[in-house]
Chain A
Amino acid sequence: MFTDDAGKGGAAAGGPGNSAGSNRRTGGDLVQLITPAGERVSHPEFDLWVQDVSDEQLCSLYQDMVVIRRIDTEATALQRQGELALWPPLLGQEASQIGSARALRDDDFVFPSYRDNGVAYVRGVNLADIVKAWRGNALAGWDPYTVNVATQQIIIGSQTLHATGYAMGIQNDGADSVAVAYFGDGATSEGDVSEAMVFAASFQAPVVFFCQNNHWAISEPVMLQSHIQLADRAAGFGIPSMRVDGNDVLAVMAATRIAIDRARHGGGPTFIEAVTYRMGPHTTADDPTRYRDANELEDWAAKDPIARVKSLLERKGLLTGELEAAVAAKADAVAKELRAGTINMPEPQPLDIFKNVYSTPNSWLDRQQDHYSRYLASFGDPAEAASEEGAR
């Protein structure tokens, strides 16, 4: 088993300490520590933030990425088999999600979007809980406080405000944890995201805006959302930013550690643009051939985040048969657990529909529940009641 504490405690683990307040790094250059060919290239500042990452931890990052790609494949298969209603693949975004999530401390709080299933996995969300909402068995799969991950947001951009408010709470409490908002390139067009940046900057809230620029918002290219690099937007709000190769797990980890460290030490918000690519469809209901060029996909396949770490491990002589076997075994086990958890998920009961609308009983709803249970009871066989009628 690989242990990972590569992500625990950024600065303490050997980072260069206080970068808080460093405002100078704006968009422009794309920070890269591993080339698409798998070469480790050096960077004067970012290197300092990942110098503690041991060979073993590098293998662990590789394993995580393979596992979440496997979760994605398995969930897609489950969708095709009718076990899930829908699934939003993260194929291609593994390094962004693993590199960033592994840079967080357990008491940091994540506000993700629907696509951030890799982040949920790293934070320890149960596998079946990851797909519960996509199966239609709940609106959200987990209790946020058990894993310090808010439920996945579908309204584009809303969670950036929630993360900022949470961070303001952290600040009030005098704590040193950090809130992290995950969102896409399209989200940056929403008013909520601008307002979140206004609040975060005004209050110097300990929040990290982690934008995965995967180049597409359903069918809309990133150019439709912004004519400057997304990272450069932050400057207008007075928020320092970084633009990193989102397919490079080390670069992402370094950037996230810098941002987290700044937030922890009172330096306020940071905006990270992780430049990556959504290699699959938007969701299993989407048809990307209608709007995107096959060549573009090929170009990005050559920058695959997993392949490049694999090459790096190979160069370092770390890609042993033993490692490959261990990684494959882990991916198999996770896929199996995900499948079993999905298929054996308990079905919700009809009257569950009335649960948790309010935290205290409400007479209007009690009446509706009473009437509906009488209605169900009026059928001889309760299983037949309201069969599929409503959806017709």
Chain B
Amino acid sequence: MTQMTFARAINSGLRKSLENDPKVILMGEDIGALGGVFRVTDGLQKDFGKHRVVDTPLAESGIIGTAVGLAYRGYRPVVEIQFDGFIYPAFDQIVSQVAKMHYRTQGAVKMPITIRVPFGGGIGSPEHHSESPEAYFTHTSGLRVVSVSNPQDAYTMIQQAIASDDPVLYFEPKRRYHDKGEVDESQDLGTALPLDKARVVTEGKDVTLVAYGPLVKTARDAALAAADEGISIEVIDLRSLAPVDFATLEASVRKTGRLVITHEAGQSGGVGAELAASITERCFYHLEAAPVRVTGFDVPYPYSKLEMHHLPGLDRILDGVDRALGRPNSLSGLEG
């Protein structure tokens, strides 16, 4: 076990993949000498050379499009999109090419591409640097979408993503990059929790609270605070946003009878909407209350002076928990 930051854990996982498989190639803007704008790839170009860790021209569609060609050729490209808001120029390549190639070729061509995306807010950045675009990708069949919430998962899941023959969007919560945690670098990928499984973070019996990425920590803090008031929250780290591990969610909701979902992305058409609908279908007779979503607002990601209002915090999550429990809350007396 080693204490390391989130960013370091991803770096270490990338290093391991580069060592283990000569077909792994890293590509992106500024990932070489600079080590990426978040230093996640720090030192990798020095150690593996410019052919394995490639600084690309400033062209996101170009980055993904050439990764498609490399994958055709048997490589396993791991690309970095510098910030969430810069993935859109690459959107066409991701949804029209990366996602569909396997289907189109009836399984003949694999697209083992990992797309790393630092995402989410809370760091006081300018426009286009704090977005949560995950729902665009969960809506596209053929893509796996995951988000990591702690250094150990960051370390393991990056390697699982790279090893996966499916394309994986790997969303890194940038405001947690400097958080530290224990990482077991000797962990065997074979015995680790599979990439598409959710994880129960804290067990509880009154409410199921589902989060992923940056909000897992906030959700856990909320559960601790709630425990002081005698409310027992089961926190689930979704980890895989597509496909979703409904078995784990169902088991929890059947036990607690109440569901709260939280994410930074806006509410409408978001991941929370899918979870609420699917769990309602699957667990209707076990639910004691309608599922509650505590999310960002349906507004463009706001300027940084207002981002703390947009991002679900501990109090807003607890207010949502109160709604699910029918306790007094900010919307008491209102319908729906």
Contacts and interface: CB of A to CB of B under 8 A. Distances in A.
Given A189-B57, A191-B59, A86 B125 contact: yes
A2 interface: no
A218 B29 contact: yes
Given A218-B29, A220-B58, A154 B297 contact: no
Contact of A354 (B62, B299, B312): B299
B166 interface: no
Interface in B281-307: 297-300, 302-307
Given A137-B305, A368-B298, A154 B126 contact: yes
B175 interface: yes
Contact of A388 (B300, B308, B316): B308
Contacts of B57: 186, 189, 220, 224-225
B46 to A, nearest CB: 11
Interface stretch (A27-35, A199-207, A310-318, A344-352): A344-352
Contacts of A291: 33-34
A390 interface: yes
User: Which of B309, B312, B334 has the most chain A CB atoms inside 10 A of its CB?
Assistant: B309
B91 to A, nearest CB: 12
A155 B298 contact: no
Nearest to B35: A290
B89 interface: yes
B278 interface: no
Interface string A154-198: 111000000000000000000000000000001101111000000
Nearest to B82: A218
A138 B306 CA distance: 9
Interface stretch (A12-20, A95-103, A117-125, A371-379): A371-379
B310 interface: yes
Contact of A218 (B37, B60, B308, B311): B37
A136 B303 contact: yes
B330 A191 contact: no
Given A218-B29, A218-B34, A290-B33, A391 B126 contact: no
A145 interface: no
A229 to B, nearest CB: 16
Contacts of B312: 390
B32 interface: yes
A156 B30 CA distance: 14
Contact of B314 (A86, A114, A135, A392): A392
Contact of A217 (B58, B121, B307, B313): B58
A106 B34 CA distance: 41
Nearest to A188: B58
B250 interface: no
Interface in A344-392: 347-348, 350, 352-354, 357, 364-365, 368, 371-372, 374-375, 377-378, 386-392
Nearest to A151: B127
A50 B57 CA distance: 36
B267 interface: yes
Interface residues of B, number: 57
B202 interface: no
User: Which of B57, B61, B121 has the most chain A CB atoms inside 10 A of its CB?
Assistant: B57
A78 to B, nearest CB: 14
Interface residue SS majority, chain B: loop
B315 interface: yes
Given A85-B125, A186-B58, A191-B61, A219 B34 contact: yes
A374 B330 contact: yes
A83 B188 CA distance: 47
Contacts of A331: none
Interface size class of A (residues with CB under 8 A): 35 or more
B330 A387 contact: no
A136 B309 CA distance: 13
Given A290-B33, A357-B298, A389-B316, A225 B58 contact: yes
B122 interface: yes
Contact of A220 (B55, B122, B307): B55
A189 B62 contact: yes
A387 B302 contact: no
Interface in B29-43: 29-30, 32-35, 37
Contacts of A133: 126-127, 303
Given A291-B34, A389-B313, A189 B58 contact: yes
Given A86-B125, A354-B297, A371 B330 contact: yes
Contacts of A186: 57-58
Contacts of A187: 58
A37 interface: no
Nearest to B86: A155
A119 B14 CA distance: 42
Contact of B89 (A136, A190, A352, A365): A190
B319 interface: yes
B218 interface: yes
Contacts of B319: 375, 378
A134 interface: yes
B268 interface: yes
A139 interface: yes
B243 interface: no
B85 interface: yes
Nearest to A391: B122
A136 B306 CA distance: 8
A353 B305 CA distance: 10
Contact of A350 (B309, B314, B334): B309
A357 B57 CA distance: 34
Contacts of B62: 189, 191
Given A85-B304, A137-B303, A354-B299, 13 more contacts: A86-B126, A136-B303, A136-B304, A154-B128, A191-B62, A219-B55, A291-B34, A353-B309, A372-B309, A386-B315, A388-B313, A390-B310, A391-B122
7 contacts: A114-B126, A155-B85, A190-B60, A219-B55, A364-B298, A365-B299, A392-B221
Interface of A: 85-86, 114, 133-140, 154-156, 186-187, 189-192, 217-220, 224-225, 285, 287, 290-291, 347-348, 350, 352-354, 357, 364-365, 368, 371-372, 374-375, 377-378, 386-392
